[in-house]
């Protein structure tokens, strides 16, 4: 039911907002006008899908951004991990965001099908 696009883009916008209000407001405008409005107008989602997705994304970001930033600061600022380990990991994460986690979704769909066949 909730729009996965709304969840992701509003979560990202909230993360930006927590860092910089100006950039965050721009990101919220982008999420609402460029990402979600066309999905609503094209009939891909109902308004409730967008609103629930936006609420989930904002709540997840508010809960997880402080936790993730603390973990990343503790892990990567101690010089325990050289750059050749950090940058590929961050590339994978940003690539996953750019492709809306399609690889992970496809793997999950295949795993679900296999489990149904086994059971």
* pLDDT for the residue numbered 77: 60
Q: Write down the pTM of the prediction.
A: 0.71
Task: Return the domain boundaries, the chain.
Answer: 1-79, 81-119
Query: Which region, left, alpha or beta, applies to residue 44 given φ > 0 means left and ψ of -120 to 50 means alpha?
Result: alpha
Nearest to 13 by CA among 56, 43, 70, 47: 56
**Residue 7 pLDDT grade (very low, low, confident, very high; cuts 50, 70, 90):** very high
Q: Is the pLDDT of residue 90 over 80?
A: no
């Amino acid at each position: 039911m909730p729009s996965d696009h709304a969840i992701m883009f509003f979560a990202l916008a909230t993360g930006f907002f927590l860092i910089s209000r100006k950039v965050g407001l721009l990101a919220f405008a982008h999420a609402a006008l460029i990402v979600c409005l066309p999905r609503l107008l094209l009939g891909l989602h109902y308004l409730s899908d967008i609103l629930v997705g936006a609420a989930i994304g904002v709540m997840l970001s508010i809960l997880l951004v402080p936790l993730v930033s603390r973990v990343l600061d503790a892990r990567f600022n101690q010089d325990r991990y050289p750059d050749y380990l950090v940058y590929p990991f961050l590339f994978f994460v940003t690539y996953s965001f750019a492709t809306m986690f399609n690889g992970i979704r496809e793997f999950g769909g295949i795993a679900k099908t296999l489990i149904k066949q086994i059971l």
